Amino acid sequence: MNAEIAHFLRHLEAEKQLSPNTVAAYRRDLSDLEEFLVSFLGTPEWEWAEVDRITLRSFLGWCRRRNLAARTVGRKLSAVRSFFRFLSREGRVPGDPSRGIRSPRRVRTLPGHLPQRGVELIFDIAEELARENTLAGTRTLAILELLYGSGLRLSEAHGLDLEALDLVSEQVKVRGKGRKERIVPLTSSAVGALRRYEPRRSETGAPLSRGALLVNRRGERISTRTIQRSIRSLIEVAGEEEGLSVHSLRHSFATHLLDAGADLTSVKELLGHASLSTTQIYTHTSRERLKKVYGNAHPRA
């Protein structure tokens, strides 16, 4: 890997303290840029000072010719901007060639989510599994309560430690993107599911006071793949539409709160969004549903 890229990634990891997944995404995007520059500049001995605005626009064109989605191209451009700002601050390039380059227009798609009756059916199935009083059954219900009841991301639920829970005050401390912490309330049913799961967890030999909340039979933190598999199986058994994922539960959490009259700012804080604009997409989801109800129900619609 190019020395400057490696130096930038160390900066992101050590000083910015970005998550390993985020650093890995930067590495992939900048590796694509490096691959493009070797071909575009016609030599493996190029220098970053040779890269100008036209070169970077050509890189975006190269990305689009590979049929990458506008969202993906925009993310790559964001990584390139961050990288050149870093090089400019370090005095490694005379200027920032990425300034003034516009991101490709993204088509905003409404997030997939479950109807309330679908959520109820999934919980009925999970409750039935939990009544078998097995580690897997009680754990799946606890996961479902965290993802839908508290709106956690998959990575947030996966990374939870036992000490983050406060079942007395019914809240959990979550570490989200950028390692930002927030306090999220737990539903009373989530507290009940977690208390039912605790004895099964202790039987695995996992530490009682510290350590991962969600563990396997060996007392080790379960993988994100295990979480995905358990939730997807519930969605499939419930007969919900294809294409829904674990993240759909978080989308459902936000959509159902807004449908019930929750204000946007509160939902933003619960989700851990840095910007209100990110949360606003859920208002479009609710608006589309209202239009559909209106169209089906009003005699003059």
**What is the set of active-site residues?**
153, 177, 247, 250, 273, 282
Cα distances from 84 to residues 48, 50, 54, 78, 286, in angstroms, run 9, 12, 15, 10, 39
CB-based contacts of 15-18 (< 8 A; 24+ apart in sequence): 17/178, 17/179, 18/178, 18/179
Q: List the one residue out of 295, 284, 297, 300 whose CA is nearest residue 110.
A: 284
Tell how many helices (H) and how many strands (E) occur in the chain: 13, 3
- What is the C-alpha to C-alpha distance for residues 143 and 161, in angstroms, rounded to an integer? 13
Q: Read out DSSP for 179-212? A: G-EEEEE--HHHHHHHHHHHHHHHTTT--SSSSB
Q: Which two tokens stand for residue 271?
A: 């989700």
* Helix H or strand E encompassing 171: strand 171-175
Q: Which two tokens stand for residue 301?
A: 């619609």
